[in-house]
Every structure is written in structure tokens, then in C-alpha cells.
Amino acid sequence: MKRTRKILTLGWREWAGLPELGVRRLRAKVDTGARTSAVHATHVRAFTRDGEDWVRFDLPRRRKGGITAKGCEARVHDRREVKSSTGHVQTRYVIRTVLSLGGHEWPIELTLARRDTMDYRLLIGREALARRAVVDPSKSYLLGKD
């Protein structure tokens, strides 16, 4: 028997979570023009644990009382050169983690990047969406606000 997976329809922006990083909800831009996904990370520093490369970083989040930072650690999956929307090339750490969208969860690769000037702290690229979702660019928050 062939197992089928429901294809999600997303708006150009959605509420998403990164449960393995302890992030329940953040606004995300869904960007099929971007190959890789990226999250706004600060104070990124590499270290070694049990002979493996790891990275420690903060995920700044806006709160009513100001900006708070969630401290995170993840095993480094890769380091890649990524070209930003402005054409600037930089080397970024890549981690593997779980993306949560509308009650659905799946593993993705996520680059750690400075997104201070961007409206959305999480960018979901087309590799994370492949075979799982399509995007209706005329809509927002199709999967709900929680």
C-alpha cells in the first residue's frame, strides 16, 4: 500500500515553531525564491562536544517588555556559502531541526543568519517545503495563528 502525505497549502507568511529549539511560535515568511531556510541567530559560537562540531546561539524574540533571547545549542550539520537577497555571499552554519506548521512537523535544514533588518525572524525556503506544501502568495496565515 502506498502511503500518501497531505500537501499543505500555505500563505506567504505563517506562524511556525521550532520545537527542538524550544520555540513554540514565531512569524515566518514563506519564500519559494530562497533555497534554504534561515533563522535570525545572534552570538553564534562553535564548540566541540564528544568529538563533534556543535554551535551555541541565541534566538532573539520580541516580547511586550522588549527583546528576550532564547539560548540554544545544536549539532552542526554543515557549513555553506549562502547568497543573500542582496547578493552578498556568506558562510553560515547549517543545523537540522524540526519545523512545526499547522500541527504538522518534519525535519528541515536551517541556516543561522543575522536577520536584524528583516521583518520575519524565520524564512522558510523551498527545500523545506518540497513535496510537503504549496504556497498561495495572495494569502496569509492559512494554517491559523496558533
Report the pLDDT value the prediction gives residue 1, as an integer from 0 to 100. 47
Say what the pTM is: 0.88
Q: Are 109 and 20 in contact (CB under 8 A)?
A: no
The yes or no reply on domain 10-39+78-136 and CATH 2.40.70.10 is yes
Query: For the segment 75-107, what is each residue's pLDDT rounded down to a tens digit?
Result: 999 999 988 777 889 899 999 999 999 999 999
Query: For the segment 105-144, what is each residue's pLDDT rounded down to a tens digit?
Result: 999 999 999 887 788 999 999 999 999 999 999 999 999 8
* 110, burial (CB in 10 Å: exposed 0-12, middle 13-18, buried 19+): buried
Percent of the chain with pLDDT over 90: 69
Q: Is the pLDDT of residue 22 over 60?
A: yes
Amino acid at 69: A
Q: Are 15 and 142 in contact (CB under 8 A)?
A: no
Mean pLDDT of 29-41: 94
**What are the domain boundaries of the chain?**
10-39+78-136
